[in-house]
Structure 1
Amino acid sequence: MFVMNYKSTRDVKVNVPSAYAISQGLSSDGGLFVPENLPKLSEEKIMSLCDMSYAERAYEIFRLFLTDFTDDEIKHCVNGAYNDKNFATDNIAEISHLIPGTYILELWHGPTCAFKDMALQILPYLLTTSAKKTIDGKKISILVATSGDTGKAALEGFKDVDGTSIMVFYPEDGVSNMQKRQMTTQEGSNVNVCAVVGNFDDCQSGVKQIFTDKSVIAQLEKANTVFSSANSINWGRLAPQIIYYVSSYVQLVKDGELKYGEKLNVVVPTGNFGNILAAYYAKQMGIPIGKLICASNANNVLTDFINTGIYDRNRKFYTTVSPSMDILISSNLERLLYHLTGENDKLINEWFTALKNDGRYEVNDSVKAAIKENFYAGCCDDEQTKGAIKEVFDEYSYLMDTHTAVAYKVYEDYKKKTGDNTKTLIASTANPYKFGFAVYDALGGETEGVDEFELIGKLEKLTKTTCPKALSDTKNKPVRFTGSIKPEEMAEAVLEFINK
């Protein structure tokens, strides 16, 4: 019988089942859990997925990664997550045709209108199933750092889930008005939301430090509680993202848009590198994906890294109209580098210690070559982002959010530079109404003196589109969470919440 275990990027000797990797979230050595090998999908297996529903495709892929789960447990997880109660479309992930050969993968038809729902609707099922196998009887305290979308999606997924509590940290001035409104009005008896004076990297670094703080862990044990994460550092968050790249390819084959074996380029707007890493995993499993095009905003640390092999976070941080990508420390890059070095945990420790201490590292020539073979990277600023929104709406009557617009602009630049006209899938990561001010401004609307709910009406009238009810309904919800803390106060806030 095939068994899939998981290793740590910082200690190759670690070898644990998926339930342990998911329930723990982060390895005790600070590394990220990765599968010991990637399962391969044959042509026969890929073609067999064509006539399946999204949930059925998810079940088939999860069986390869969750070998310590029973088939019934996996079915319980996927059927509980991917259904018409949670998603506003039968297909879960819709594919819109922009022009022949260019497709938009709409990942925002879930309850919080962002791509994070694709993983965070199933993570509570994966985590509670894992906990019964590994830490039965203990409570789980989930810590989340968010640049906007993960926080709300995690809160919505875990609200009132028995045996869990969830605390979300977001940068005080680093999310859109609607993202903030979604989080601070969150319902649920087991949730807490906290603004942090700083940027997303401050939130993310703070959460990672709390995970490995021995004094905090000791107090946690007294409360019969363990930490876990809903960020994409948790394998249970990343694995579901592989599904929609597999599903999109087979759906395009089923629809006659692709012939099996025909390459499909994938464009992903990304800051933490998890979404594009999932596409890389799908490619390594046998899905015929061509170039992986990494799109960044003005915080272009990933663009520079992919083009030079030098990762340097010692740069100005920009607050942009695509805030979910306002990140200078891309956690999931560690997983990619672990694979590209041939599982060299010594090198990973060396590079990420340098990142922590000096803010930079440079990979070796063989890794640089492997990155260039698989990836292309580009970036654009806010004005170019808004220009892309207007261009696509004027030409195709298709309304994009700011993050999707970054991906579109970088893809257009890629085509001009390379002449590559391979059929391409652009990941659309959020509904445009989540970033209504920037979108309305891009289309020439006047935003001064307008609140987010007046703006919804103006944007609906201008574009003849409809704001999702999940966003417009926040108008009448009371704000539950106010105030902010400094990064160094995060651990104290966590313990206070847990001990309530």
Structure 2
Amino acid sequence: MSELLYNSTRGGETGCTASQAVLKGLAKDGGLFMPDRIPAFDFALSALKDASYQEVAYRVMRLLLTDYTEEELRACIRGAYDEKFDTPEIAPLTFADDAYYLELFHGKTIAFKDMALSILPYLMTTAAKKNGVTNKIEILTATSGDTGKAAMAGFADVPGTGIVVFYPKGGVSRFQELQMLTQKGDNTAVVSIEGNFDDAQTAVKQIFGDRAFEAELAAKRVQLSSANSINIGRLVPQIVYYVHAYLELLKEEKIAEGESINVCVPTGNFGNILAAYFAKRMGLPIDKLICASNDNKVLFDFFETGVYDKNREFILTTSPSMDILVSSNLERLLYLSAGCDATKTRELMEALKTSGKYAVTEEMRKATRDFVGGYATQEEVAARIRSLYEKTGYVIDTHTAVASKVYEDYRKKSGDKTPTVIASTASPFKFSRAVMEAIAGDVSKLDDFAVLELLRDKAGVPFPPAVEEIRHAEIRHNRSCKPAEMESMVRSILFE
């Protein structure tokens, strides 16, 4: 198997190994790392239908992380996918109302980010050793709610690393906020900002691009990396669970070998659905990729018109992890749809930076025809949570409900009866108040933990360990700043 090399989507860095791309996180020119080709599966899917999640992970990830040895990669996988997940399947499928819900929330922080952030610290520390890096690796990340906790949990007290997370104050659920504020680990820090996720993400990218700050850190033997899905080490592990879901359907004889499925994904930053697209390009029989947006429907509008325009009202919704107007991972799809033309990608990203919008060519639109956009309003999300519960007894969170509603609308409109997997991205316990308001009406007189107990009784499932942990945890973090102060905040955290 020949080695894959990674290049920036904007052309400024080329020829990086997989481990180097994982370590860097973001290219120096602000671009995202992409492999010089997307490899095809070198195995028959039917041969893996009885394989464990860990074995599937190895067989898929080895194709993209080619400079990791078998021993290194298997060790990373063993460390990541173990008893920290509360189901032996790691990512089980549940059938409800004509769709298969891929439950990606059985990890330590009860959100899909655990699927990749459980392994990223292992991939990163292994990469550091492979490349002779002795500097401290400081993870710098913006979060819209879930990445922050999952990244902090993954990197907490990992030798040679530290992590700083920025999140929008008032822009995450109270449960998400408490998960971050109570995170243990001497190398962890979390900071609320006065602004939204896009403000935080933009400032983080600016910090990565500050060459003077980079030199200052290097002099103190520190280098920055990212745990956001802009890091290829986040994206690659996400491909695995779509392959695993297909194999489970094959094993249970819900589909025949080679039969296509659709995938419907609630997304704001575009990484989760991009992973499904990678799986399709590698050989997984996926027909339509249904991109589900909430009221911040910038992606829906893009797939409808070919114009990406962030110049619009930013809406705080009951699905806050999707409250995003700058979908960073879409840059990777643009790069692919432009025939890996870094110059064209750079032009589009410069237009986004200067005017807040860009338009793609007809050829590029044709290259994205596998995607179908849809969106659901907050009112539709609440109604879908309630109707699904009343019809089946199955309880889903607000983000999953965005996808569920979008898929329901797509099926009615298209008549498409292709078996469909819906990415269920968070436990309903993580957004218990919005879920219970949808099911039971006004719960404003109940405190947060009373709402959790009500949800437990309605759903008929025990509390996940993450809920029990929050109930008794102490607040450990209390920093806040403005977006313009974020670099100074990082400096004070690292060197105070």
- TM-score w.r.t. length of structure 2: 0.98
Match of 1:458 in 2: 454
Tell me the SS of whatever aligns to 1:11.
coil
Tell me the SS of whatever aligns to 1:378.
strand
Match of 1:321 in 2: 318
Match of 2:141 in 1: 144
Match of 1:207 in 2: 204
Q: 1:252 aligns with which of 243, 249, 254?
A: 249
How far 1:39 sits from its partner (Å)?
1.1
How far 1:215 sits from its partner (Å)?
2.1
- Whether contact under 8 Å (2:12, 2:27) holds in the other structure is no
Match of 2:2 in 1: 2
Distance across 1 between alignment mates of 2:93 and 2:29:
40
Match of 2:180 in 1: 183
Distance across 2 between alignment mates of 1:228 and 1:299:
28
Distance across 2 between alignment mates of 1:458 and 1:91:
27
Amino acid in the other structure paired with 1:26: L
Say which is worse superposed, 480-489 or 27-36, in terms of deviation.
Answer: 480-489
User: RMSD of aligned C-alpha atoms?
Assistant: 1.1
Distance across 2 between alignment mates of 1:129 and 1:479:
32
Distance across 2 between alignment mates of 1:181 and 1:140:
25
Distance across 2 between alignment mates of 1:12 and 1:378:
34
Distance across 1 between alignment mates of 2:168 and 2:218:
29
Distance across 1 between alignment mates of 2:462 and 2:363:
49
Tell me the SS of whatever aligns to 1:15.
coil
Tell me the SS of whatever aligns to 2:259.
coil
Tell me the SS of whatever aligns to 1:16.
coil
How far 1:135 sits from its partner (Å)?
4.6
Match of 2:418 in 1: 422
**In the comparison of the two structures, how many residue pairs are matched?**
496
- Whether contact under 8 Å (1:23, 1:134) holds in the other structure is no
Tell me the SS of whatever aligns to 1:268.
strand
Distance across 1 between alignment mates of 2:28 and 2:122:
23
Tell me the SS of whatever aligns to 1:491.
helix
Distance across 1 between alignment mates of 2:254 and 2:288:
18
Distance across 1 between alignment mates of 2:395 and 2:150:
22
Tell me the SS of whatever aligns to 2:440.
coil
Residue 380 of structure 2 corresponds to residue 388 of structure 1: no
Deviations 1:361-381 (A, max 9, x none): 00000111222x201001111
Match of 2:278 in 1: 281
Amino acid in the other structure paired with 1:347: K
Match of 2:481 in 1: 485
Say which is worse superposed, 237-246 or 455-464, in terms of deviation.
Answer: 455-464
Match of 1:499 in 2: 495
Aligned pairs for 1:50-61 (under 5 A) are 50-61=49-60
Closer/same/farther in 2, CA of residues 491 and 239 from structure 1, 3 Å limit: same
Match of 1:355 in 2: 352
Tell me the SS of whatever aligns to 1:142.
strand
Match of 1:33 in 2: 33
Match of 1:113 in 2: 110
Aligned pairs for 1:298-447 (under 5 A) are 298-371=295-368, 373-447=369-443
Distance across 2 between alignment mates of 1:445 and 1:457:
15
- Whether contact under 8 Å (2:292, 2:375) holds in the other structure is yes
Distance across 2 between alignment mates of 1:487 and 1:203:
6
How far 1:451 sits from its partner (Å)?
2.2
Residue 23 of structure 2 corresponds to residue 23 of structure 1: yes
Distance across 1 between alignment mates of 2:12 and 2:161:
30
Distance across 1 between alignment mates of 2:437 and 2:59:
44
How far 1:452 sits from its partner (Å)?
1.3
Deviations 1:75-102 (A, max 9, x none): 100011011x2100111000011145x2
Q: 1:219 aligns with which of 213, 216, 220?
A: 216
- Whether contact under 8 Å (1:59, 1:78) holds in the other structure is yes
Distance across 1 between alignment mates of 2:454 and 2:68:
49
Say which is worse superposed, 402-411 or 65-74, in terms of deviation.
Answer: 65-74
Match of 1:94 in 2: 92
Amino acid in the other structure paired with 1:312: D
How far 1:463 sits from its partner (Å)?
3.4
- Whether contact under 8 Å (2:293, 2:376) holds in the other structure is yes
How far 1:12 sits from its partner (Å)?
7.0
Match of 1:73 in 2: 72
Amino acid in the other structure paired with 1:90: P
Unaligned runs of 5+ in 1: none
How far 1:346 sits from its partner (Å)?
1.0
Distance across 2 between alignment mates of 1:277 and 1:477:
35
- Whether contact under 8 Å (1:216, 1:495) holds in the other structure is no
How far 1:48 sits from its partner (Å)?
1.7
Q: 1:131 aligns with which of 128, 144, 152?
A: 128
Tell me the SS of whatever aligns to 2:73.
helix
Tell me the SS of whatever aligns to 2:405.
helix
How far 1:351 sits from its partner (Å)?
0.6
- Whether contact under 8 Å (1:8, 1:15) holds in the other structure is no
Match of 1:48 in 2: 47
Tell me the SS of whatever aligns to 2:198.
helix
Deviations 1:437-463 (A, max 9, x none): 100100123321322112111222333
- Whether contact under 8 Å (2:145, 2:321) holds in the other structure is yes
How far 1:481 sits from its partner (Å)?
1.3
Distance across 1 between alignment mates of 2:441 and 2:480:
32
How far 1:396 sits from its partner (Å)?
0.5
Distance across 1 between alignment mates of 2:36 and 2:126:
21
Distance across 1 between alignment mates of 2:455 and 2:97:
24
Deviations 1:119-164 (A, max 9, x none): 0000000000011122521110000100000000000000000000
Distance across 2 between alignment mates of 1:315 and 1:128:
40
Distance across 1 between alignment mates of 2:431 and 2:490:
29
- Whether contact under 8 Å (1:386, 1:442) holds in the other structure is yes
Residue 286 of structure 2 corresponds to residue 293 of structure 1: no
How far 1:4 sits from its partner (Å)?
1.0
Amino acid in the other structure paired with 2:61: F
Distance across 2 between alignment mates of 1:418 and 1:186:
45
- Whether contact under 8 Å (2:97, 2:388) holds in the other structure is no
How far 1:417 sits from its partner (Å)?
1.2
